[in-house]
Amino acid sequence: MTNDLDVLLTALYVKIDDVIVAERWLGRPPWLTDSEPVALAVGRAVLGFTRSPDDCVSLTPV
């Protein structure tokens, strides 16, 4: 199950990263790219975790 989840999230990240066009920045690069939180949100929705993002304590599917 863990390998399947890793593959799913990696594939989501790669696809979303290809679609989202990142802007160039000056100075220090950001901690997260725009693709990373989007991929996590989509993966969370696909897996059935429908609670709000700020409710990170409970990770049980609804």
Q: Which amino acid is at 6?
A: D
What average pLDDT does the segment 18-44 reach? 80
Residue 13 pLDDT level (bands cut at 50, 70, 90): confident
Q: Phi and psi (nearest 5°) for 24?
A: -80, 150
**Residues of the chain with pLDDT > 70: what percent?**
74
pLDDT value of position 39: 85
Indicate whether 19 pLDDT > 70: yes
pLDDT value of position 46: 82
Q: Tell me how far apart the alpha carbons of residues 62 and 60 are, in angstroms, rounded to a whole number.
A: 6
Indicate whether 23 pLDDT > 80: no
24, 40 contact by CB (below 8 A)? no
The enclosing H or E element of 15 equals: helix 2-19
| Average per-residue pLDDT for the chain | 75
Q: Which two tokens stand for residue 57?
A: 């304590």
